[in-house]
Amino acid sequence: MKILMISSEAVPFAKTGGLADAVSSLSLALAERGHDVRILLPRYYSIPREKLKMIPGPLGVPMGGREEWCAVYEGELTTLGGKARVPVYCIDHEGFFGRDGIYGTYSEPDFRDNPYRFAFFSRAAFQVCRKLHWIPDILHAHDWPAALVPVYLKYLERFRDFEKTYSVFTIHNLGYQGIYGKDAYHYFGLDWSLFSAAGFEDWDRLNLLKAALTSADKLTTVSPTYAEETKTPAYGFRMDGVLRARAADYVGILNGIDTTIWNPRTDPYIPRPYSAEDLSGKALAKETLQKNFGLPQDPSVPIVGMVGRLTDQKGIGELFGPNYGAAWSICTELRLQMVVLGSGERWCEQELRSLASRLPNLKVMIGYDEKTSHLIEAGSDFFLMPSRYEPCGLNQMYSLVYGTPPIVRRTGGLADSVENYNQQTGEGTGFMFDDLTPRAIYDTVGWAIWAYYNRPDHITAMRKRGMQQDFSWNRSASRYEALYQAFFS
């Protein structure tokens, strides 16, 4: 099948979170299964033109009653050994993408012209296909920046060259919807009669994600539990009604992880590779982690690691919130060390710095650092993820295959990838709790630390069990494949 992925992020070109990992690895996994998969991405300023090949000739995109001109550049993704190849088309438009930032900057987190930028990007998908004389069977759009793709297909393009093309829209995070003033609508080139029919209407504003949820042929999200949760008011971010109405076309498919990058047997970022049979490399990673972060080098003290975006979604209020967060009691009352790598909300970055200055066993690195994230996954004894909601989550899967049992809230993809510890039988792969409260986080970290000191045989068995799990993309890719094929049978 011919499949075009439309996404605002794809590793290694542009990344702010797991979306970038998911899109690239899913594309490669499908290409390995023999499909003709290609990716469409904006050419952000951070993607150097020199690394890409220019496709000759300008591309005209009809927007707001006129033609918007851009250039198209081509890059590629390949699997290790070059077995599978995925072309990556980058839309080059100086006015929209010739600036720092993907969605915004530190001072302007959401660019004012985002509805214009991403509407143009979505419409360009169709023009690129025409230019290449390559009409895909499937247009697979990801998250709100690509939300107009299914809308354009359904209401404009299906009547032209895309008669036999179907759309799939994947929700990676319902918390970001692309809600803007209605004044941007005229630029989309859609009739006003569609404003409500296509699902844009949202309390006198326009909601891009809602239009995709209404218009796409099929909807997916990145774990079965999140698919269920999003149909309820507690997790639906006001979209639960729309999703319930579309329940027959909506499924959850758990993401995989890229095992060529996240594999303790081959990881170049850790001091010595290791496996479930020989964990000595893990002990060395712990030593290096302690050294790099200036912690006392004591192999007997457990390390709790954490990596991620510091946003409300990740439970940072309950963990680090001033006055009531769990971190203070975790670090003062339990015998452990804690290492945190992340960036995000400013209050949280500041609070972390201030906590670290008062707690000798808490070390913090504010920023984004690929290499250190690998060392934390490998060198920690436990990995903490107390998410408020988690559509899939990749870090807990990384930590499982690195032999680092995760401590997680039972939600979304965390519920689907971790199995809770049973202290009677020693079964399980991690530690879970339900209520997002400082008390529950503290208690569950405490439970893991108790097991570390008092049930070391259980912990070793848990590490090995996690390392033997198969989170490779192949299984998930076959489920997407079946979803695509159902359109044509």
Tell me the C-alpha distance between 90 and 319, whole Å.
Answer: 39
Residue 67 as a binder of ligand ADP (CB under 6 A): the answer is: no
Residue partners of 346: CB distance under 8 A and separation at least 6: none
The one-letter amino acid at 201: E
| Residue of the chain from 42, 150, 393, 406 that contacts ligand GLC (CB under 6 A) | 393
27 binds ligand GLC (CB under 6 A): no
- For the sheet containing 53-63, what is the strand order? 53-63, 66-78, 85-92, 36-42, 2-6, 138-142, 166-171, 218-221, 250-252
* Residue 94 engages ligand ADP in binding (rule: CB under 6 A): no
Nearest approach, Cβ of 313 to ligand GLC (angstroms)?
A: 6
> Residue with CB nearest ligand GLC?
18
If the CB atoms of residues 121 and 389 are measured against ligand GLC, the closer one turns out to be 389
Q: Which of 37, 72, 156, 394 binds ligand GLC (CB under 6 A)?
A: 394
Cα-trace Rg, the chain: 23
Q: Helices (H) and strands (E) in the chain — how many of each?
A: 19, 18
Q: Single out the residue of 11, 19, 174, 270 in contact with ligand GLC (rule: CB under 6 A).
A: 19
Nearer to ligand ADP, 145 or 342 (CB): 342
Closest CA to 182 of 155, 208, 216, 215: 208
Q: Which residue lies nearer to ligand GLC by CB, 223 or 380?
A: 223
Among ligand ADP, ligand GLC, none, partner that 72 touches (CB below 5 to 8 angstroms by kind): none
Q: 3-state DSSP call for residue 115?
A: helix
- What is the token pair recorded at 171? 């929700």
- The partner in contact with residue 368, picked from ligand GLC, ligand ADP, none with C-beta cut-offs of 5 to 8 angstroms by kind, is ligand ADP
Location of structure tokens 């404009």? 156
Among candidate residues 42, 197, 225, 220, the one with its CA nearest the CA of residue 117: 42
Max CA-CA distance within the chain? 70
Element (H, E) at 18: helix 18-32
| Residue 165 vs 223, nearer CB to ligand ADP | 223
Question: Any contact of residue 258 with ligand GLC (CB under 6 A)?
Answer: no
- Binder of ligand ADP out of 309, 410, 464, 479 (CB under 6 A): 309
What does 386 interact with, of ligand ADP, ligand GLC, none (CB < 5 to 8 A by kind)?
Answer: none
Q: What is the DSSP letter of 477?
A: H
Supply the minimum distance, in Å, between the C-beta of residue 52 and ligand ADP: 24
Closest approach of ligand ADP to the CB of residue 55, in Å: 30
Q: Which residues contact 42 (CB under 8 A, 6 or more apart)?
A: 8, 14, 90, 91, 93, 96, 97, 117, 121
Pick 325 or 342: Cβ nearer ligand ADP: 342
Per CB under 6 A, contacts with ligand ADP among 351-390 are: 368-370, 373
Pair of tokens at residue 387: 């998410």
Shortest spacing between CB 180 and ligand GLC, in angstroms: 21
> Interface with ligand GLC by CB under 6 A: which range of 12-20, 243-251, 345-353, 422-430?
12-20
> Does the protein bind ligand ADP through residue 21 (CB under 6 A)?
yes
Cα angle 396, 402, 405 (rounded to 5 degrees) comes to 55
Please identify, using beta-carbon distances, which residue of 393 and 405 lies nearer to ligand GLC. 393
Which one among 18, 315, 403, 405 touches ligand ADP, defined by CB under 6 A?
A: 18
State yes or no: residue 260 binds ligand ADP (CB under 6 A). no
Angle between helices 370-379 and 280-292 (to 10 degrees): 130
Beta strands 201-202; 138-142: pairing state = unpaired
Q: Is 37 in a helix, a strand, or coil? A: strand
Nearest approach in angstroms of CB 310 to ligand ADP is 8
Residue number with CB closer to ligand GLC (19 or 37):
19
* Residue 18 token pair: 């797991």
Applying CB under 6 A, the residues found at the interface with ligand ADP are 17-19, 21, 307-309, 341-343, 368-370, 373, 392-395
Applying CB under 6 A, the residues found at the interface with ligand GLC are 17-19, 22, 172-173, 222, 255, 390-394, 413
